[in-house]
Chains A and B, each alone.
Chain A
Amino acid sequence: MIDTLFTNAKLVDPEGGTVITGALGVTDGRISAIITDDTPHPQARETVDCDRKHLAPGLVDLGVKVCEPGERHKESFGSAGLAAAAGGVTTMVTRPDTDPAIDNPETLEFVIRRAREAAPVNVLPMAALTKGRQGREMTEIGFLLDAGAVAFTDCDNVVSDTKVFGRALSYARSLGALVLGHPQDPGLSAGAAATSGKFASLRGLPAVSPMAERMGLDRDIAMIELTGARYHADQITTARALPPLERAKQNGFDITAGTSIHHLTLNALDVADYRTFFKIKPPLRDEDDRLAMAEAVHSGLIDVISSMHTPQDEESKRLPFEAAASGAVALETLLPAAMRLFHSDHVDLPTLWRAMSLNPAKRLDLPCGRLAIGAPADLVLFDPHAPFVMDRATLQSKSRNTPFDGARMQGKVLHTFVAGHSVYKRA
């Protein structure tokens, strides 16, 4: 018998590209029935009436920073897990840019244990590509894979020594490991707090040309051609980087690319009078770039949308813009912010769910991210139209550095399930 039957739901199917009203059954933590016609509903132990709201695969967020080990006061697995559940994120793929970096199996095991104890959602950790994220020596990629690392990345530290990077890519390839790169020319982007242009010049901020991203991507593509590695660009944020990405895909390289929700919904002018919650890395871009990114998500050239959740405490943000820390929390605002793209008719719901759920799952060989028989019942029930004014005091994260504080948003997560179990329900 079916454990839970979700009835009267608008089922968002990223694989089929459809939104169809129907019912979905869950048995033993997996999807066991999908009914979209007039056939009578089977027996179930429990029935959840979805009231014509949307039911979709839970989000798979590639690139979440949880500040364990090192800075638990900014974010712990407990608080990040609650934030994820409240945001409809059922799988967090975590970053290794902690202090110390997650660059050895022992630290990775600590992280996995902490995540299992404290987080109500799935946590899959990434590990550093080089020791200490220093770009000098590759980590124990084999041991780390055995210990559970799902991908390897030095995050925003670009491995600038191409010999080291090439060796790490070759070695990773021999193990079938996925490497995440941060496409950025480190020389041009050093010290930058904004994207170069009139706004940055008027504000007197040190700035980086958008060309630095294309240069970084061009280099990484050459290295992929050289080594045959599996590669994912963590954030593509400028229109200039899209043609080389498209060519690399056409050439058959094993390359995918992501972008952040902030680069899809905000632009450089949002910084206004030095608002440090809008300081992220890479910096916010011009409106033309934002629109190009939205179009690239729509066309599928950009595969993945991530929150790039980066908790920072008040102290590290209450500083002059140049001196303030980069990053924004976004686990809880990922879905409502993505709804802006839906409401502005840039991207439809199944395409958004491809980018936020199906594609990252596929890239990491995970069975989730789809509404299919046998897939894990990681689900989010949401109302894409429900309006609200974002109040950062309501966030579950320990750090509340969201650029959307006070913003009018549409799209509320109502109920989140991991393996069929409720992990969040809106009061």
Chain B
Amino acid sequence: MTFTHRHLLGIEHLRQDEITTLLDLAEDYVTLNRATQKHGDALAGLTQINMFFENSTRTQASFELAGKRLGADVMNMAMQASSITKGETLIDTAMTLNAMHPDLLVVRHPHSGAVDLLAQKVNCAVLNAGDGRHEHPTQALLDALTIRRAKGRLHRLNIAICGDIAHSRVARSNIILLGKMENRIRLIAPPTLMPSGISEFGVEVFDDMAEGLKDVDVVMMLRLQRERMDGGFIPSSREYYHRYGLDAAKLAYAKPDAIVMHPGPMNRGVEIDGTLADDINRSVIQDQVEMGVAVRMAAMDLLARNQRALQGGAA
């Protein structure tokens, strides 16, 4: 097994073989999750705390289920309602939780880099469940697993990532991961939603869907993150849908067997046509959710193994 990290903070720190190791293990958990008896014991006796400083239903539920299926004691903390509003700093919160001896901390935070900061201050394994506009590693891993299962490989594919790239941590993690696995990446967005310095990312950049989607194998749509915008990035939702929303007509530019992905939650009729999103022949959006649980089980399993090895080594 090649996966030696203490934390999962971002795809940036992972090597190609480590990504493959993690995805291979996740395959086993897909099988487990489809069985009637869904219990493993990889995390038995361990305590997992989910700290979400930002609203999340889907990711938090996915992490919770992943932990429970592997036998961990899982606690959810809704941090907006808690000590943060009383003025406690992130580090104090981390130190307090650390004193309760958790083994796995799953953290989402609205500020880029906040999870890295927290990881420096605690003794347990930390999983980044999304930090600001920086990274969302488990999302990229579940996307990778979904692509690998649908396409039979995770290399030499033409993959288009479309939409609000500037505000998206999903896009960043996916660009890094898919790049490491040697795919051709195209970014399609209006220039206002493209991050600066994009030309140095080793990707192809388009501001037109017809051109950008030509002959791609995978179309990855992103949610328009209106809550992160301070206004004026696009003229209106309807113009955005007209020019960048994915519908059957625009998808026709892609390869006939191209798959459609979306990290959710979707704005139907803004970035994606509702009917297309539900089309089981093209859309793998529900598979992404399924792979999410398996990938998170695999990630926590690997981190727990490393932690046990570390503690064993110290003893």
Contacts and interface: CB of A to CB of B under 8 A. Distances in A.
B133 interface: yes
Given A315-B89, A318-B91, A203 B197 contact: no
10 contacts: A191-B230, A200-B197, A203-B113, A204-B135, A205-B132, A274-B112, A320-B111, A321-B111, A321-B113, A322-B132
Interface in B137-193: 169, 172
B111 A322 contact: yes
Contacts of B131: 204
A200 B196 contact: yes
Interface string A202-234: 111101010000000000000000000000000
Contacts of A191: 230
A273 interface: yes
Contacts of A315: 89
B90 A319 contact: yes
A170 interface: no
Contact of A320 (B12, B109, B198): B109
A353 B114 CA distance: 41
Given A204-B131, A204-B172, A197 B197 contact: yes
A interface, over-half SS: loop
Contacts of B113: 203-205, 273-274, 320-322
Given A320-B114, A321-B113, 17 more contacts: A198-B196, A198-B201, A199-B197, A202-B172, A203-B113, A204-B132, A204-B135, A205-B132, A207-B196, A273-B116, A319-B89, A320-B109, A320-B111, A320-B113, A320-B117, A322-B112, A322-B113
Contacts of B201: 198, 201
Q: Which 10 A-B pairs have the closest CB atoms?
A: A204-B133, A198-B197, A204-B134, A274-B113, A320-B111, A204-B112, A201-B195, A196-B196, A320-B114, A197-B197
Interface in A245-275: 273-274
A321 B113 CA distance: 7
Nearest to B169: A204
Sorting the interface of chain B by its residue count into under 10, 10 to 19, 20 to 34 or 35 or more gives 20 to 34
A1 interface: no
A194 to B, nearest CB: 10
A323 interface: yes
Contacts of A196: 196-197
Contact of B198 (A201, A204, A318): A201
A204 B116 CA distance: 13
A320 B107 CA distance: 13
B interface, over-half SS: mixed
A318 B172 CA distance: 25
A197 B169 CA distance: 16
B189 to A, nearest CB: 13
Most buried by B among A197, A198, A202, A207: A202
A274 B200 contact: no
Contacts of B172: 201-202, 204
A200 B201 CA distance: 12
B199 to A, nearest CB: 8
Contact of B134 (A198, A203, A207): A203
B17 to A, nearest CB: 22
A203 B115 CA distance: 12
Interface residues of A, number: 22
Contacts of A203: 112-113, 134
B112 A205 contact: yes
B167 to A, nearest CB: 9
A197 B197 CA distance: 4
Interface string B228-248: 001000000000000000000
Nearest to A323: B111
A320 B197 contact: no
A315 B88 CA distance: 11
Most buried by B among A315, A319, A320, A322: A320
A196 B200 CA distance: 12
A209 B114 contact: no
A198 B200 contact: yes
B100 to A, nearest CB: 21
Contacts of B12: 202
Interface string A302-333: 00000000000001001111110000000000
A201 B114 CA distance: 16
A323 B131 CA distance: 13
Interface string A181-205: 0000000000100001111111111
B150 to A, nearest CB: 28
A51 B12 CA distance: 52
Contacts of A207: 196
Interface string A38-59: 0000000000000000000000
A321 B200 CA distance: 23
Contacts of A197: 196-197, 200
B248 to A, nearest CB: 32
Nearest to A205: B112
A291 B169 CA distance: 32
Nearest to B230: A191
Contacts of B135: 204
A238 B117 CA distance: 30
Contacts of B116: 273-274
Contacts of A201: 172, 195-198, 201
B230 to A, nearest CB: 8
Nearest to A191: B230
Nearest to B198: A201
Nearest to A286: B197
A321 to B, nearest CB: 5
Nearest to B194: A201
Nearest to A318: B91
Interface string A124-165: 000000000000000000000000000000000000000000
A201 B197 CA distance: 7
A198 B116 CA distance: 19
A113 to B, nearest CB: 35
Most buried by A among B131, B134, B196, B198: B196
